[in-house]
Structure 1
């Protein structure tokens, strides 16, 4: 049977990554792992020394930067070269399955041509002004510090004001999205068929202007693939909701809540295949309960 690839983006907790991979091991599964270039890879290699994985070329995948998309696209390029892979699913090292791997693979077999990702066009209602500004302004990382242009007029930083003044001499105040494209956004975690991976990589090669544009967007990982899919006419209606659950605090916040044992009953009732984010240094017990109550007690043929 065809194989399934898990593309995993990791930056911390190598033992937790090992635990995640251990729960997804199958003769039909291939792991492609990207470890953030900012951290030492040796603890990750040691934790996974008994598992066959493909270690991807590393980039700095700092939150909000283009690094995440570079890591993902590099992973898709590597996966495309491996024959027999029918599906690619993106996970982070802080994700965890809510269903046994046999059931996950059965679900994929039942939906061979479906793609799963949360996607919405930027011109639809529901986008906060702060999120819309992610594509309208320029964002730069200088020594891991984030700068925006135009800056917030209330910013007290003299350095930022000087940078703003200098950039005003070479950059327009407003950005024009690449010609002929409609902007889409959403949560990055996806599961794509091999055909969609092929189409995404073809679009990526044909429209380098989009990659150049999102390089100076904030959280480009929540824009790039969605815009590619939307403009491939695989957008609204053709793509099904994502398979990964997250619990978002109230307000316009950049990160989902860390899931703990307090959330277990909620997790138990979810239809999602995966959830995030977990941190075993905060609460290891919730992962233990998932293992014993969700991943080993359920029948594998239902």
Structure 2
């Protein structure tokens, strides 16, 4: 059996594994593109250390990056509330039903630049499609840093 087939079968098995949900855990999912404060990370580490079954539950999860930290945060906050600030990652969707955000090209530099006042990062780029956009961002950053 080829490596590709083995990987495919492993992925399929993860999709169809039936898991018993953890008791007293409110599950929550969201984007894996986020930033956390040190205090929040310390609370998550403490929560995970006190609840070893929590980490074990996510070991063979299909999309743990979109569930683990979000679920931990929801469960460490008093009254299941937390202050969530706007995202610091800029992304744009060409169409509402797209599965992935658009890939920025040089023609999108004005859009990216206008978003940079509130965002620290942007997603997504592909140097094989358009190296110019990355070069232009670098030039703009150097200019800002030299002012």
TM-score computed with the length of structure 2 as normaliser:
0.77
Query: Structure 1, residues 234-276: CA drift from partner, whole Å, max 9, x if none?
Result: 76541213211122343161x3332211221111111211111
Equivalent-residue separation in structure 1 for 2:71 and 2:123 (angstroms) = 24
Equivalent residue number for residue 43 of structure 1: none
Residues paired across the two proteins, number: 135
Unaligned runs of 5+ in 1: 1-141, 151-170
Distance verdict in 2 for CA 1:251–1:297, change over 3 Å: same
Equivalent residue number for residue 110 of structure 2: 265
State the shift of 1:285 in Å: 0.5
Query: Structure 1, residues 188-246: CA drift from partner, whole Å, max 9, x if none?
Result: 12222222221111112222222222233322100100001111117654121321112
SS at match of 2:144: coil
Whose RCO is larger (CA < 8 A, sep 6+)? Answer: 1
Considering fraction of residues, name the structure with more strand.
1
**Preserved CA contact (<8 Å) 2:47 2:72:** yes
Equivalent residue number for residue 188 of structure 1: 32
Distance verdict in 2 for CA 1:215–1:273, change over 3 Å: same
Equivalent residue number for residue 251 of structure 1: 97
**Preserved CA contact (<8 Å) 2:74 2:82:** no
**Preserved CA contact (<8 Å) 2:109 2:133:** yes
Alignment equivalent of 2:137, drawn from 263, 268, 290: 290
SS at match of 2:53: helix
Distance verdict in 2 for CA 1:264–1:232, change over 3 Å: same
**Preserved CA contact (<8 Å) 2:91 2:122:** yes
Residues 2-81 of structure 1: matches in 2 within 5 Å?
A: none
Query: Structure 1, residues 170-201: CA drift from partner, whole Å, max 9, x if none?
Result: x5xxx442111111111112222222221111
Considering fraction of residues, name the structure with more helix.
2
Alignment equivalent of 2:16, drawn from 142, 149, 157: 149
Equivalent-residue separation in structure 1 for 2:98 and 2:136 (angstroms) = 31
Unaligned runs of 5+ in 2: none
Residues 126-165 of structure 1: matches in 2 within 5 Å?
A: 143-145=6-8, 146-147=11-12, 148-149=15-16
Aligned-residue CA RMSD (Å)? 2.5
